[in-house]
């Protein structure tokens, strides 16, 4: 990793994280900084279960799947790596909040996180069990943190989905 200014962004592949990724790329360009998209992963079943019954081949499979997810997220967001900015993608084993705050360890780093939610019930349950990644980073980071709210497009797409409209029909070519 380079030693210049960095913009570190948590990426999961969700629409909310892709919004944060776009904002992070914009910030990296504006600051002439390196963009560091980070996808974190943990073994299926959690670290405790893995330590009880380790399986290195499975671990390699999970890590490779995480690398593919990060590549897919970059493809979905930019069609590959973003143009006009140096990118150093990272895949790291561990919980997102602690990993991101550990990586963003320099005062001139900028940590970008999404404030997006997955829905009221699921998000509330997740926050009760683990707390949100955004809140963790905002309260523990040693650098500036930019919390990116969901795009208004997300609400529009969710409303269409709830009305039973298949989004594929909106993008399909008209019949001749």
The per-residue pLDDT for range 114-149, each reduced to its tens digit, is 986 545 545 554 444 456 888 889 888 999 999 998
What local confidence, expressed as pLDDT, does residue 135 receive?
85
User: pLDDT category, 93, cuts 50, 70, 90?
Assistant: very high
Residue 40 lies in a domain: yes
Domain that holds residue 26: 6-151
Q: What is the mean pLDDT of residues 31-54?
A: 94
pTM of the entire predicted model: 0.79
Instruction: Give the residue-averaged pLDDT of 143-160.
Output: 79
Average model confidence (pLDDT) across the chain: 85
CATH number of the domain to which 48 belongs = 3.40.50.620
Residue 112: CB atoms within 10 Å: 30
The three-point CA angle 92-82-10 to 5° equals 30
Distance of alpha carbon 67 from alpha carbon 91, whole angstroms: 6
CB within 8 A of 109, min separation 6: which ones?
Answer: 5, 6, 7, 8, 143, 144
Residue 131, in any domain of the structure: yes
Supply the pLDDT for residue 165.
75
> Residue 61 and residue 63: Cα distance in Å, rounded?
5
Cα–Cα distance measured from residue 20 to residue 150, given in angstroms and rounded to the nearest whole number? 8
Q: Which two tokens stand for residue 82?
A: 């973003």
**Does residue 86 sit within a domain?**
yes
User: Is pLDDT of 8 > 90?
Assistant: yes
pLDDT band for position 158 (cuts 50, 70, 90): low
- Domain total of the chain: 1
- Domain assignment present for residue 50? The answer is yes
What is the tens place of the pLDDT at every residue in 44-86? 999 999 999 999 999 999 999 999 999 999 999 999 999 999 9
């Amino acid at each position: 990793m380079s030693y210049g200014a960095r913009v570190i962004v948590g990426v999961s592949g969700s629409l909310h994280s892709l919004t944060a990724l776009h904002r992070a790329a914009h910030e990296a360009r504006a600051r002439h900084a390196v963009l560091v998209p980070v996808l974190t992963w943990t073994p299926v079943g959690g670290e405790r279960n893995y330590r009880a019954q380790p399986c290195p081949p499975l671990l390699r499979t999970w890590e490779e799947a995480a690398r593919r997810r990060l590549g897919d997220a970059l493809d979905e967001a930019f069609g590959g790596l973003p143009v006009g900015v140096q990118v150093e993608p990272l895949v790291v084993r561990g919980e997102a909040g602690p990993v991101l705050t550990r990586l963003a360890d320099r005062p001139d780093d900028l940590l970008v996180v999404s404030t997006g939610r997955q829905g009221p019930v699921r998000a509330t349950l997740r926050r009760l069990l683990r707390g949100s990644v955004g809140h963790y980073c905002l309260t523990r980071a040693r650098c500036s943190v930019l919390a990116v709210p969901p795009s208004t497009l997300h609400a529009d797409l969710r409303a269409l989905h709830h009305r039973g409209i298949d989004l594929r029909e909106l993008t399909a070519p008209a019949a001749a």
